[in-house]
Structure 1
């Protein structure tokens, strides 16, 4: 019973953290007069997937799933970029009931229009390689990274993430994606995990002549010890995988030798993904610091309260601990990075989801490693302009290009 209440507590905290990330302040930003930041972003309407219910593809509350599509033109008319939305996970019935009353569990509460910025921008000066592609944001409303297949009749909860993925892809194929010359599957956070889980499935949708690759932004969740010496995230992922019926949809290349919970962690999956994959991640991922490494449930003496919210308030021993986490992240991608088809951009920033924000994706002072920023690195990798994109930044505090997140 005690363990159950820990999961409930963690689930509700994660919902609050997701809300907090959406309202976080970003420091170290210098806006340039007349720059792309002063342009109004394109607003794109929500399309519900009609007929999805008959396919078992519904949100947590049983409502229709949806996406936002802006058509490509010119040289990008036959190219497609799919962005899978993130938003945490729900690991227990109480948390999922909470989620189904939000936009992360029901299309009833989704915004009818959302701004397309960063990798989804329609402006060449903000998104030089993908601005005129068909660009799609698939909304996240299943609570398990588009991978579940179960339900709870008593609570009227539908865990149908895998069905939502399939229905969305089928609908987009009918919208012209089947004729794609080039296609990129991307995602941020829980959507970044989903882009890894579904990468090879995405590849199979297209003929071999189509250039198909995948991008995971802030999706490299590590199976790491927290500050109390426990595995908070592993325990939560175990609950998610069990509740949502995820095991049947995990890659067999992993489940054939590891248990399903471990196969929900990207570090155990990435080396077996056959399709070219790019990992974009902050070495000090702020979500993982707050929810996995030093969550309140393990911070018994409240030593991490200030550090969790503001990296500048971390003590020397806390920074040392976070350097160990960075080392774990770099060790987890060693085998993955040996394959030249794959790409890496791991900067030593306190951030989360850098492809969806204009200031970090492509701007006059966006984060760089060496002389290349994030958008340029991803573009060079996707179009094979540079072979072997393996960009890893030096440890904190030497990177002066970061746009670090600070929480109220």
Structure 2
């Protein structure tokens, strides 16, 4: 309609004006830096709508106006949002299913593996996400997994489209810095922590081809625009987060072999930094949940024909299972990796036989939980780029609330943005981290959910939300005793807990 067209023209003028004034402000702030950056600004709001021009998109990376970044970003995102109705057609933001061209690389049951893709034409940034979902390590628990969680072992019932959330969202208000990247989601159907290279045969009931699936997806994407890519971020959560640590160097080496050495490959590992510690209560290795992590991986790596990075394999020859644990494989990785890890990861506590809902937590369990946080902090202290909130949770980067969690006043998207800036600056031989842009963020407070921005906890029985004090009391936390141990008044301790100090 004419009215809608007029609204769009007005909005376009406003966006252009705002962005140009931002660019002028940036030149004043930074002494006229980057005329090319300013010339790209007006294209930002239009990259969403299927524009097929080849201009490189601008992913809301307003580093030049960092002194007034928050308000500037808010205005831009609000205006970009208001432009959505101006599209002649409904925005198609979903990722679409593609099966691999190489049909010999399959899911566990022999069905073809594949990936979901949402192209962002004009963008040279690619985000490839590895799904998580535990694993199985022998015929018995793989058979059980096939009966109860078939989509994690077969592509037979995958839907044709998938909607991206969190860092896979195409909406700038949900995903400030990566909304305009080419988005790829690889479903997990190999049950091998993305490590296997074994086909299904008459002798093998299942295929375990996780490492090969990743490589085949990358090869397929080269014909869909990745050949012109500049940055490839290999991300993943849970088993997918461990998969990032196992495969990020291999992806970079594959691209070099295929003649694309200029694509910068980086890793983002979410909730995949597990510890091989002793369980709180030792149990027999019967299934995935009860089996100690070390024992499960030892059995799994043989069953899957698991492949680990060459540098890590040489460092742990004869005990390659070590490479599935973040603090052991990380020092051998050559490409930059950002680690996101809850200090009190629910999956870690589960395999350690600490179950927080139901019966009140005993004092020994409480000490074990606090020690877990301490151990995790120690393994992360030399990781330059990481985000570790003191929360009881598991996975975050594809959650809708991923932008709300903060550590020391910095959000996860902001920390990732600082990391990207540091990599960009380092490529210009500047070793100093960006000023006022932190990317090594770890909570110091010692209890689960002592950070007030942690995601909401729900009582598993009633479904009701719990605040920090209710949660700690539910776990059998003795405020008086803890206050005595800390040498403080109980009411002061309660105040600190409720404020997250």
User: TM-score of the superposition, structure 2-length normalised?
Assistant: 0.64
Kindly state the Cα deviation for residue 165 of structure 1 after the two structures are TM-superposed. 1.7
Counterpart Cα distance in 2 of 1:137 and 1:348: 28
Kept after mapping to 1: 8 A contact 2:391/2:450:
no
TM superposition shift of 1:316: 4.7
Counterpart pick for 2:212 among 163, 166, 188: 163
What's the offset of the Cα at 1:155?
5.6
Q: CA deviation at 1:73?
A: 4.0
- Determine whether 1:106 maps to 2:148: no
In the other structure, the counterpart of 1:373 is 411
Deviations 1:6-49 (A, max 9, x none): xxxxxxxxxxxxxxxxxxxxxxxxxxxxx99xx99943332111
Distance 1:194 1:405 in 2: 27
1:88-99 pair list within 5 angstroms: 88-99=134-145
Match 1:44 to one of 81, 95, 99: 95
1:117-156 aligned at under 5 Å gives the runs: 117-150=165-198, 151=200, 153-154=202-203, 156=205
Partner residue, 1:181: 230
Distance 1:100 1:63, change over 3 A: farther
Give the match for residue 370 of structure 2: 323
- Range with greater deviation from structure 2 (255-264 or 177-186): 255-264
Distance 1:196 1:144, change over 3 A: same
Q: Is contact 1:105–1:141 with CA below 8 Å preserved after alignment? A: yes
Which SS does the other structure have where 1:376 is aligned? helix
For the 8 Å contact 2:246–2:323, the answer to whether it is kept is: no
**In 2, Cα distance between equivalents of 1:265 and 1:240:** 14
Task: Check if 1:401 corresponds to 2:462.
Answer: no
Kindly state the Cα deviation for residue 218 of structure 1 after the two structures are TM-superposed: 0.3
Q: Alignment length, in residue pairs?
A: 343
Is 2:420 the counterpart of 1:382?
Answer: yes
Aligned to 2:241: 192
Question: Take 2:324 and 2:92, find their aligned partners in 1: how far apart are those partners?
Answer: 34
**1:4-403 to 2 correspondence within 5 Å?**
42-50=93-101, 52-53=102-103, 56-74=104-122, 77-100=123-146, 102-150=150-198, 151=200, 153-154=202-203, 156-204=205-253, 205=255, 207-229=260-282, 232-246=292-306, 249-258=307-316, 259-290=319-350, 292-294=351-353, 304-305=354-355, 307=356, 309=357, 313-335=360-382, 337=383, 342-359=384-401, 361-362=402-403, 366-384=404-422, 387=434, 389-394=439-444, 395-396=446-447, 397-403=449-455
Alpha carbons 2:241, 2:270 under 8 Å: kept? yes
Equivalent pair of 1:63/1:107 in contact (CA under 8 Å): yes
Unaligned runs of 5+ in 2: 1-77, 85-90, 284-290, 426-432, 462-501
Deviation at 1:235, TM superposition (A): 0.7
- Root-mean-square deviation (CA), in Å? 2.5
CA distance, structure 1, for counterparts of residue 361 and residue 162 of structure 2: 35
Query: Hey, what's the Cα distance between the residues in 2 that align with 1:284 and 1:120?
Result: 25
Deviations 1:30-86 (A, max 9, x none): xxxxx99xx999433321113x22xx3100000111111111145xx1110110111
Q: Which has the higher strand share?
A: 1
Which residue in 2 is equivalent to 1:32?
A: none
Cα deviations across residues 247-289 of structure 1 (Å, max 9, x unaligned)? xx21222222321111222221001111111000100001111
Aligned-residue offset at 1:152:
5.4
Q: Report which structure shows greater RCO (CA 8 Å, sep ≥6).
A: 1
* Richer in helix (by share): 2
